[in-house]
Amino acid sequence: MNIQPLLAYYPDADVPTLRIAVQLQEDVAVIRRLFGKLASGEIQEAELGAVIQCNLEGIRALILCSARRRPSRALAIEYQTSSGPVLRWSDTTCYWLEWAEKVDPVLESDSACHQYFWPGGRDEIVVELCYREYGSGGSV
């Protein structure tokens, strides 16, 4: 089993899905700290794939950004590249705190689990954080 995290975008799923699949609790902790830093204002922007050193599938990059105001589409394609889209997830510090707190049950879990984030609403891209559920790939 590949323990390297996977960042995968599935635009053709029933609901377009961005999957963050991790096998190690340390990677969940890094994601939690990153969301917390966006919530506290310690950082304004980060590229998730670079932070957790993950494999990419169907996506070029995911940029996380702390914004003063919530955009109409919090998670959206910023631009397309030959290796996939660059997605930008922009949210306020209050929302980043909410997302950070939603990571806590995953971080505390001793078994496989997942958590969903709906930054743009139910008809937009959903983020799925998977812990020990997928290896280096898989489809929705």
- How is residue 129 written in tokens? 């954080």
Q: Per-residue pLDDT tens for 16-26?
A: 999 999 999 99
The domains of the chain are located at 6-131
Give 99's contacts (C-beta < 8 A, 6+ positions apart): 35, 39, 91, 117, 119
Give 52's contacts (C-beta < 8 A, 6+ positions apart): 5, 7, 22, 27, 30, 31
Query: What single letter denotes the amino acid at residue 95?
Result: Y
| 126 touches 9 (CB < 8 A) | no
pLDDT (0 to 100) of residue 3: 87
Can you list the residues of the chain whose pLDDT is less than 70? 1-2, 121-123, 135-140
pLDDT (0 to 100) of residue 123: 66
* CATH number listed for the domain at residues 6-131: 3.30.1360
pLDDT (0 to 100) of residue 140: 43
pTM of this structure: 0.90
